[in-house]
Amino acid sequence: MERNNISTVRSINQKLGNLLWKGVSKVLSVGPVPTHIAFIMNGNRRYEQNLNLVKGTGHRLGLDAMLTMLMHCCELGIKYVTVYAFSIDNYKRKPEEVERVMDLLKFTFELLTEKSSIAHHYNIKFHFSGNLDLLSEPVRNAAEELMAKTANYSKFVFTFCIAYTSTDEMVHAIQEACEERQCEMQELKRNCGDYEAEKKTVKIMDIEKHMYMAVAPDPDIVVRTAGENRLSNFLLWQTANSDLYSTPTLWPEMNFWHLVLAVLDYQRNHSYLKKKKKLL
């Protein structure tokens, strides 16, 4: 009898929670809903150390929080979600830690390719931004398979920034833009075109189309957890007019209410950010 009562209470709490969540979502939808939100997922190791957990648990719980946050973003209608999953600088950490993180990421990518995953449920296209040549072959293969399996989805776009830094992205884009322009000029010469008339410098739009992040518009919000206020070489090119939201909450502790606060902060600053963009 007692067990049935506990089950009933849990069911009621879940229903109340769902109703509250739907109500809050409707309230947020009255204001401007961000098109793109990016997360710097900081605090996994600190969370693990604070609770004296087994090594690797913090990152595992962090990935769980990431997938939960993705679902919340989809429910709010935020089309583009990007996470800073692994920096190029993170390769400087202890080899065993890097290996643990990579194994967890590979497992997550494989999990998302399954038919029962949120990728298929929410119609999410997965994209990877970064120097993928730095990944081990098994991790890179898992990432490429996930992209292939979700290539035809279009409702939401989720980007893993992995083996990524913004400076690497910019150098890559500039090199690609210069090489493209050089090829165009060589082709013009071969066809006896007016080389001098067509001789132009590389423009911003030429660089932007070669960015790893060309798949998504510039983020409306960048959320950083664990009380940090630095961008840490993340989307430096794309965040000139983004709302930066910092929370002391460690990433594994992030939930729907933290997302609500970030969106409310964006809505509060929306008019100012809109004016700034118009001045550019």
Distances (CA, A) of 110 to 26, 107, 140, 144, 146: 34, 5, 11, 10, 7
- Measure the CA–CA gap between 34 and 59, rounded to whole angstroms: 27
Q: What is the pLDDT of residue 18?
A: 65
Q: Is the pLDDT of residue 144 over 90?
A: yes
Look at residues 72, 59, 73, 38 and name the one whose alpha carbon lies nearest to residue 103. 59
Q: What is the pLDDT of residue 84?
A: 98
Q: Say what the pTM is.
A: 0.89
* Chain CA centroid to CA 138, Å: 22
Q: Which residues pair with 84 in a beta bridge?
A: 40, 161
Distances (CA, A) of 128 to 15, 41, 112, 190, 199: 36, 16, 14, 37, 34
* Chain CA centroid to CA 43, Å: 16
The CA radius of gyration of the chain, in Å to the nearest whole number, is 22
Pairing of strands 221-224, 156-164: unpaired
Q: What is the pLDDT of residue 74?
A: 93
Q: Is the pLDDT of residue 277 over 90?
A: no
What 3-state DSSP class applies to 124?
strand
| CB neighbours of residue 15 within 10 Å | 10
Higher-pLDDT residue of 11, 104: 104
Average of per-residue pLDDT across 246-259: 95
E strand intervals along 187-256: 221-224, 243-246
Q: What is the pLDDT of residue 2?
A: 43
Q: Please give the full DSSP string across 25-92, using - where no structure is assigned.
A: HHHHHHSPPPSEEEEE---HHHHHHHTTPPTTHHHHHHHHHHHHHHHHHHHHT--EEEEEEEEGGGGG
Going by C-beta distance under 8 Å and a sequence separation of 6 or more, which residues neighbour residue 117?
Answer: 111
Q: What percent of the chain has pLDDT over 70?
A: 88
Dihedral angle of Cα 227, 233, 237, 243, to the nearest 10 degrees: 0
* 149-183 per-position pLDDT tens digit: 999 999 999 999 999 999 999 999 999 999 998 88
* Tally of CA atoms within 13 A in the half-sphere of 125 that contains its CB: 12
Is the C-alpha dihedral spanning 59, 85, 41, 68 positive or negative?
Answer: negative
Architecture of the CATH domain 34-161+219-248+258-279: 3-Layer(aba) Sandwich (3.40)
- Output the six-digit token pair for 72: 């919340």
- Name the residue with tokens 């993705």: 70
